[in-house]
Amino acid sequence: MGKSVLSGLTTVVVAAGVGLVAGAGSAFAATAPLYVNNTVGAGCSDTGGGSPSKPFCTITAAVAALAPEQTAQITGVFNERVTVNKSSVVLQASAAGAARVSGPNAGFTIDGQHDVAILGINVQNVVSAPAFAVSNGVRISVVDGSVTMANEATGPAIKLSAVTDSVLNGVKVSGGAVSAGVAVDAATSRTVLKGLTVSVGSPAGSVGVDVAGSNNTILNSSVFGGAVAVVALRPGAAGNTVVNNTVMSGHGVGILNNGATGTAITNNSLDFNCLGGIRVAGASTGVSVQNNVATSNVSSTTGCEPGIPSGPEIGLYDGAAGTTVVDYNAVSRSAAPNSLYWWNGPLGLTGFRAASGQAAHDTDVVDQAHMEDSANSAAPGYQSTDAYGKPREDNPAQPDTGTGPVTYADRGNSEMIPGPYPIMTITADNAGNSVTVDASRSALGYVPIATYRFDFGDSTNPVTQTSPVVAHHYSTPGTYAISVTAVDVNGYSGTRQQVKSLWPAARTFALLAHDNNRYVSATEGGNMQMRAYQPTIGAGEQFDLVKVGGDLVALRSRVNGEYFAVNVGPDVPAGSNVVWAWSDSTNSDDTLFTITNNADGTISLRSVVNGKYLSSNHGVSMMTADRAAIGPWEEFSPVDVANAAVSLRAHANGRYVTAENGGATALIANRTAIGSWEQFDLVDVGGGWVALYSRANGLFVTAEAGGNQPLIANRAAVGPWEKFKVITNADGSMSLLAGVNNRYVTAENGGNSSLIANRTAIGPWEEFDR
CATH no. of 507-640: 2.80.10.50
* Whether residue 254 has pLDDT greater than 90: yes
Do 32 and 49 form a contact (C-beta atoms < 8 A)? Answer: no
* 10-24, 189-203, 617-631: range with lowest mean pLDDT: 10-24
Of 68, 72, 109, nearest to 90 by C-alpha is 72
Do 325 and 363 form a contact (C-beta atoms < 8 A)? Answer: no
> What percent of the chain has a predicted confidence (pLDDT) above 70?
95
CA distance 479 to 476: 10
- pLDDT value at position 582? 75
CA distance 401 to 391: 18
The DSSP letter of residue 504 is -
CA distance 305 to 290: 30
| Residue 704 backbone dihedrals phi, psi, to 5 degrees | -55, 145
Q: Quick: pLDDT tens for 259-310.
A: 999 999 999 999 999 999 999 999 999 999 999 999 999 988 888 988 888 8
- pLDDT value at position 17? 31
CA distance 141 to 110: 11
- pLDDT value at position 7? 36
| Residue 349 backbone dihedrals phi, psi, to 5 degrees | -60, -45
- pLDDT value at position 59? 98
CA distance 673 to 658: 10
- pLDDT value at position 712? 98
Q: Are strands 158-161 and 180-184 parallel, antiparallel or unpaired?
A: parallel
Q: Quick: pLDDT tens for 68-90.
A: 999 999 999 999 999 999 999 99
Q: Would you state the CATH architecture of domain 432-497?
A: Sandwich (2.60)
Do 160 and 108 form a contact (C-beta atoms < 8 A)? Answer: no
* Whether residue 11 has pLDDT greater than 50: no
H and E: helices and strands count for the chain: 4, 65
Mean pLDDT across the chain: 92
- pLDDT value at position 568? 52
Query: Facing residues of 711 across strands?
Result: 703
| Residue 107 backbone dihedrals phi, psi, to 5 degrees | 135, -165
How would you class 632 by CB atoms within 10 Å of its CB: exposed for 0-12, middle for 13-18, buried for 19 or more?
middle
Q: DSSP characters for 560-582?
A: TSPEEEES-STTPPTT--BEEEE
* 16-20, 37-41, 277-281, 764-768: range with lowest mean pLDDT: 16-20
* Whether residue 6 has pLDDT greater than 80: no
- pLDDT value at position 573? 53
- pLDDT value at position 300? 84
Do 242 and 218 form a contact (C-beta atoms < 8 A)? Answer: yes
Q: Quick: pLDDT tens for 328-387.
A: 999 999 877 889 999 999 999 999 999 999 999 999 999 999 999 999 999 999 999 999
- pLDDT value at position 512? 94
Q: Quick: pLDDT tens for 548-574.
A: 988 999 999 998 888 988 875 455 555
* Whether residue 680 has pLDDT greater than 80: yes
- pLDDT value at position 1? 31
Q: Quick: pLDDT tens for 618-655.
A: 988 889 999 999 999 999 999 999 999 999 999 999 99
> What percent of the chain has a predicted confidence (pLDDT) above 90?
83
User: What is the average per-residue pLDDT within 112-132?
Assistant: 97
* Alpha carbon distances (Å) from 708 to 625, 755, 764: 42, 11, 21
CA distance 289 to 421: 34
- pLDDT value at position 25? 36
| Domain 645-769 of CATH type 2.80.10.50 | yes
Cα angle vertex 130, ends 125, 132, to 5°?
A: 100
The pTM (predicted TM-score) of the whole model is 0.66
Evaluated on CA atoms 48, 54, 56, 62, the torsion sign reads positive
CA distance 699 to 677: 12
* Whether residue 48 has pLDDT greater than 90: no
Do 131 and 158 form a contact (C-beta atoms < 8 A)? Answer: yes
Q: Quick: pLDDT tens for 589-599.
A: 889 999 999 99
- pLDDT value at position 3? 32
CB neighbours (10 Å) of residue 478?
A: 18
User: What is the average per-residue pLDDT within 182-198?
Assistant: 98
Q: Quick: pLDDT tens for 158-173.
A: 999 999 999 999 999 9
Do 648 and 659 form a contact (C-beta atoms < 8 A)? Answer: no
Q: Quick: pLDDT tens for 462-484.
A: 999 999 999 999 999 999 999 99
CA distance 391 to 187: 34
- pLDDT value at position 283? 94
**Residue 19 or 400, more confident:** 400
- pLDDT value at position 16? 27
Evaluated on CA atoms 684, 688, 691, 692, the torsion sign reads positive
Of 619, 590, 618, 616, nearest to 603 by C-alpha is 616
Q: Quick: pLDDT tens for 470-527.
A: 999 999 999 999 999 999 988 889 999 999 999 999 999 999 999 999 999 987 777 7
